[in-house]
Every structure is written in structure tokens, then in C-alpha cells.
Chains A and B, each alone.
Chain A
Amino acid sequence: METNKSLDPRVQRLNIGAQNGEANIETHLVTWEVFHQEKKGKQAVHVGIVHASSPELALVYAKEVYGRRGKTTNLWVVKTSDIFTFTPEDEDVFNTAPEKLYREAGYYKVRDRIEAFQKRNKETA
């Protein structure tokens, strides 16, 4: 199949021939984790990352990538290397949390006891 001359006038103006070979890409900008706050009173929620060389630029990119649609009140960026997390293997340290029902409001039920007490009182009266 024959290669067309570009239909794009912008590409024609650049006058770039087809070159081959690997691009020499050696730079790695650091990444920033982006948190998005939809409106005042709501939590900032993690939405993804951007690559940037400074927090100021990270905010600019975050605005373009994560604040382009819908409502945004604020964006936070935190350098990925400044975030500390549990390892996935430690997930089990949280296993017992839902089991400790004595820490839940729903665990405490006294209505039966009150009714039994009132019934007993009525009988003895």
C-alpha cells in the first residue's frame, strides 16, 4: 500500500520525513498522586496521577486531566514517594475490625429488657 502525502497542512508544514529508529527517552519525571474535591464540605478523593517536575506544574496538569469536566472545588497533589501505605500482605491486620460488634451502636439492644421489667413491675403492683 502506498503511503499518502499527509492530508494535514500542519504536518506538511513541518516537513518531517519518516525516520526510523528508537527515540532516545531517558528522562523520568516523578509522579504526583492527585486528590479531587468536588465541592466544599466533601472529602478530597484520590483520582489518579500526573507526571511533573514541581508541585505547581503538577497542579496545572491535574487541572487539565482531572478538573476538565463536572464540578471541582479544589485539587491536591502529593508526591508519590511521600505517601506511605500498608503492604497488601498486611491486609489481614484489618480483618478483625468488622467482627468486634461490641463497638457498634447496633450491638446494644435494651428494649426487651425494659419491656420485661415493666411487665414484672405491673404484675407485682
Chain B
Amino acid sequence: MYGNAYISPEEAKQMQSQQDDPKQLALFEARVAKGEKVEPGDWMPTDYRKQLIRMIEQHAHSEIVGALPEGTWITRAPNFRRKLALIAKVQDEIGHGQLLYSAAETLGKTREQMLADLLSGKSKYSNVFNYPAKTWADIAVIGFLVDGAAIVNQVINSKGSYGPYCRALERICYEESFHLKQGHDNFVYLATGTPQQRNMLQEALNRWYRPLLHFFGPSDKASQHSEKLMKWRVKLASNDDMRNQFLDQYVPKILELDLTLPDPNLKKNDAGIWEFSDPDWDEFKRVINGDGPCNAERLAVRRYAEEAGRWVRNALMRKEEKYVVPLA
């Protein structure tokens, strides 16, 4: 599960072209243009490495933080079958975190450093997980629509240029398709249930509509920064294109159940582009910078896990073992 890597305008400014050997850079760009994959030991531009680390790291954090709102409902799942599915899904999300930390690690940043940066707030995770799962219907909306949005993003990213990230994403997408199907099942079950169940689902849908529009990040069509990342096949589609693809795929699946979305301006125009009211990008920025309903709790839980588990890790450590960067 994942939202798009968010780069604030200030960070984009900081990311100036590093001085790379122009000969090497030309060779690298030619290889990527041919569709060749880049492997960990290969020469790569400094910014390519930096941006990939940041993107894969944010993705990994999103997986392990994303497990928290759903984990909340494991003990209160409405029946045994739903409980089994939710446990399996949450375990998958943690597994995806492991795969992604490993992929980022091949670029030279240790997993421990990434976890430390998550806890200090230096690196981000998907904004969508800073919202609470208030009812069981929120679990249906998350499983169906947040995972659906994540799959749009991940399928696109799996065609990127960095080998280890693509391999991790292929495995992740395979497992996410189960998340989506069980989410849809849960969603349809409530939507075709009692008036009370439908009402609960509609309210959850209303709550998640904005965070879902925020999910792919602000419009980035005009950004120079994006162009370079697209050329290097780090980014493969603009935030707007991904959001449009998501709305195209999922809005009909919501409307066919006679549910509504809380936006009178949501409609597909003649050019096939979805239009919607401004989803309040200031709120998006506020939440990503720490001021969301659940930011503090998410980090507090992660920090607790880190600190409460330290004695175990220390007991396991073998001082004579030397850490080396993983191969692939």
C-alpha cells in the first residue's frame, strides 16, 4: 500500500544537478532510454541514487505505518473469515516494508538509518495513513480504494529503471491483488447489506474521499524536477495522470452500488479527464508536515516498537559480524 513520494517545493529547489561525469551520465541515460535496468553496483547519477533512496524509503515507511490503521480492527473484525483475511493483509504490508527496505538498502542507506529517519520525522510516509479508521467500514474503504490507488501507483512504478525496486514491486503487486479483492468483497458486502451497514459505508466513503484525492500528491505536470525523474524512469507518470487513472477505474465501481461521493463537481469531461473540487491542498501540506489527526500516534507506536524491542536486538547482535551492503 502506498501513496506517491512527496517532494516539497523547498526540497525540489535544493535538489540541484549534482556534478556527474558527463560521459558516464550520457552512457547511463542511453541505457535507461533503451529500457535496460540499473543494478546496485552500476554507475548512477548522484541525484538518481538520492531520489530512489528517498522514494523507496517513503514507500517502505508507508507499508509499515499503513499496517497500523488496519491493525486497529483485527481484534474487532466482524467474523472469523474477515479476521483471517485482515491478519494476512496486515502481515503482507509488513512483508512489503521488508522487501522495500531491502531494495533501498542496496543503494547504500542502512535499514536502521531509514527507521531512525522515520522516527525523527526526517523522512515521510504516505499522508493517507495519518487519518483514523473509525469504523469497520473504513477498513472496507481502505482495503478497496486505498489499496486500489496504491496498485495504480505500484504497477506503474514496477516498469521503472531500478532492478531491485521493480522486482520488489512485482512481488508486492501480486500480493496486493488479494488485498484489493478482499477489500472489494468487504465493500460490496456492506453496500448490499442493511440500511445501517450502507449508512456506515457511505460515511466512511465521505471521510476518505479527500485523502484519496490527495493520495497521488499535488499536480506536478509543470515541474522540471519531474521531467528529469521521468527521463531516468524513476517516475513514470505524472501525479495527475495517476489520479485520473484511479478515478476512471474506481468511481464507476462506487456508483454502481448506489453510493455517492461528497463532491457535486466530480465528473468526467468530454476529453475523458476527471474534474473535481479543490480537495484543499493546504490541508494536505498541514497533515504531511505533522499536523494530521493521527501523525503523533503513528510515530509513537513505531517508537514504542523500536524501543521495546531493542533489548532483543542487542541480545542477538554478534559484534564480530561486519555489515556489508546487500547485493540485490
Contact = CB atoms under 8 A, between A and B. Distances in A.
A3 B297 contact: yes
Interface string B92-109: 100100110010010000
Residue with the greatest number of chain B CB neighbours at <10 A, chosen from A9, A17, A51: A51
B323 interface: yes
B78 interface: no
Residue with the greatest number of chain B CB neighbours at <10 A, chosen from A47, A49, A50, A54: A49
Interface residues of A, number: 45
Interface in B12-55: 39, 41-43
Interface string B284-328: 001100011111110111011011001001101110011111111
A25 interface: yes
B289 to A, nearest CB: 11
A18 interface: yes
B133 interface: yes
Contacts of B98: 50, 65
Looking at chain B, what size class is its interface with the partner chain? Answer: 35 or more
Interface string A1-31: 1111011111100101111011101111111
A68 B95 contact: yes
B interface secondary structure, majority: helix
A13 to B, nearest CB: 11
Contacts of A49: 102, 105, 326-328
Given A4-B132, A4-B293, A23-B115, A10 B102 contact: no
Contacts of B115: 23, 25
Interface of A: 1-4, 6-11, 14, 16-19, 21-23, 25-31, 33, 46-51, 53-54, 57, 64-65, 68-69, 80-81, 83, 85, 87-88
15 contacts: A1-B287, A7-B132, A11-B301, A18-B296, A19-B300, A21-B120, A23-B116, A23-B303, A25-B306, A30-B321, A31-B105, A46-B328, A48-B102, A53-B318, A69-B175
